């Protein structure tokens, strides 16, 4: 139809050009234009793959579904954006399961300290029973999670003023943690002084000395340029963290079934690619960060884990999550966590 009008426009001359142009614009306006918010810089693999998925969705739906991405907490910090995706002001949001736990307590289960030994165990768990358990809990709160969780990575501890090698080095450490009880509890168990700060404010908090350190996967230390305001990095791998891709339920159900199917398929597909990208960055970016001036220390992870155990961290969180969730986690990681 567009073709016919355009051709006729050309044949009929200037008198109908305006009509042709107007029709053209209308035909191209998407039927659904949704916002997708996230807290990461544009260069992070999450945004690279998200953009690719959004382009693929626009094409596969013949222009019906347009997703506009808002990176770097442009729509608000994580706490604010979680409210927005609940009330529909934002249609999509990617969020750490631990921050999501302020709404869905069980969602934090993957963040138990030192639970996962490697990525293979993570994906088996999150694509299996543990992930299904978390998604069911999320759905109960009226949010729609995509099936595949995206990767943030294994988290490491950075600091402006101390080299950390043993659990004792964390004592009294002024460290920023994301808004989540599990994070507060873990660094309290280490004897640190954790302060809750949303990621949107982390760079400033570090550069002004409100806190001396933070913890994040290397892909974030690199893409968010935290190396400019941090000197040391302790390779603790203390927890694995990801991003659930969450949709507002009403916005999701407003989409026709075929569009919904395409969106889910493209996002899940992009998620698998994003996992590979992020794992690769986390594994290789250390060399660049060293050139950027950071010094790395290796840590005896067993000692850190033992400190948490002695502080009652595992007993406390087993009680909070409950026996069902805890046993799914233990089965997934193939070890007893206490």
- Interface contacts to ligand X2X, rule CB under 6 A: 39, 96, 99, 152, 178, 199, 216, 220, 241
* Residue placing its CB nearer to ligand X2X in the complex, 96 or 230: 96
If the CB atoms of residues 220 and 247 are measured against ligand X2X, the closer one turns out to be 220
Inter-residue contact 113 to 186 (CB < 8 Å): yes
**Closer residue to ligand X2X in complex, CB, 96/248:** 96
Q: Give me the least distance between CB of 106 and ligand X2X, in Å please.
A: 17
**What is the closest distance, in whole angstroms, from the C-beta atom of residue 220 to ligand X2X in the complex?**
6
Nearest CA among 272, 153, 267 for reference residue 220: 153
Q: Cβ 263 to ligand X2X, closest distance in Å?
A: 22
Indicate the residue among 23 and 203 with the shorter CB distance to ligand X2X.
203
Q: How far apart are CA 149 and CA 132, in angstroms?
A: 11
Q: Which is nearer to ligand X2X, 65 or 226 (CB)?
A: 226
Least CB distance to ligand X2X at residue 219 (A): 10
For the bound state, the minimum distance from the C-beta of residue 158 to ligand X2X, rounded and expressed in Å, comes to 11
CB closer to ligand X2X, 100 vs 255: 100
Using CA atoms, how far apart are residues 201 and 197, in angstroms rounded to an integer? Answer: 7
Given a contact cutoff of 8 angstroms between Cβ atoms, the answer to whether 151 and 209 are in contact is no
Instruction: Return the number of the residue (90 or 96) whose C-beta is nearest ligand X2X.
Output: 96
- Rounded to a whole number of angstroms, the minimum distance from the CB of residue 199 to ligand X2X is 3
Residue 35, beta-bridge partner list: 68
The whole-angstrom separation of Cα 220 and Cα 12 is 57
CB of 314 to ligand X2X, least distance (A): 21
């Amino acid at each position: 139809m567009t073709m016919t009008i355009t051709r006729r426009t050309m044949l009929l001359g200037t008198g109908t050009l305006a009509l042709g142009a107007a029709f053209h614009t209308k035909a191209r306006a998407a039927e659904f234009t949704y916002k997708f918010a996230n807290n990461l810089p544009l260069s992070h693999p999450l945004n690279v793959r998200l953009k690719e998925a959004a382009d693929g969705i626009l094409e596969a739906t013949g222009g019906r579904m347009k997703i506009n991405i808002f990176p770097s907490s442009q729509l608000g910090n994580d706490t604010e954006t979680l409210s927005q995706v609940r009330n529909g002001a934002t249609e999509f949001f990617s969020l750490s399961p631990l921050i999501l736990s302020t709404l869905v307590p069980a969602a934090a289960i993957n963040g138990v300290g030192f639970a996962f030994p490697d990525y293979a165990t993570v994906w088996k768990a999150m694509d299996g029973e543990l992930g299904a358990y978390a998604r069911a809990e999320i759905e109960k709160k009226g949010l729609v999670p995509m099936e595949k969780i995206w990767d943030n990575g294994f988290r490491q501890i950075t600091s402006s003023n101390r080299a950390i090698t043993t659990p004792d080095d964390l004592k009294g450490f002024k460290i920023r943690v994301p808004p989540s009880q599990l994070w507060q509890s873990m660094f309290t168990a280490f004897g640190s002084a954790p302060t809750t700060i949303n990621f949107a404010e982390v760079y400033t908090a570090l550069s002004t000395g409100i806190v001396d350190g933070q913890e994040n996967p290397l892909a974030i230390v690199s893409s968010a340029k935290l190396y400019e305001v941090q000197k040391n990095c302790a390779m603790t791998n203390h927890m694995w963290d990801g991003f659930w891709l969450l949709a507002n339920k009403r916005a999701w159900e407003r989409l026709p079934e075929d569009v919904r199917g395409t969106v889910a398929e493209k996002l899940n597909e992009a998620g698998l690619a994003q996992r590979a990208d992020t794992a690769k960055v986390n594994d290789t970016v250390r060399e660049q960060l060293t050139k950027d001036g950071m010094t790395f220390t290796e840590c005896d992870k067993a000692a850190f884990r033992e400190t948490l155990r002695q502080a009652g961290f595992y007993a406390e969180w087993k009680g909070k999550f409950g026996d069902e969730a805890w046993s799914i986690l233990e089965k997934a990681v193939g070890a007893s966590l206490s």
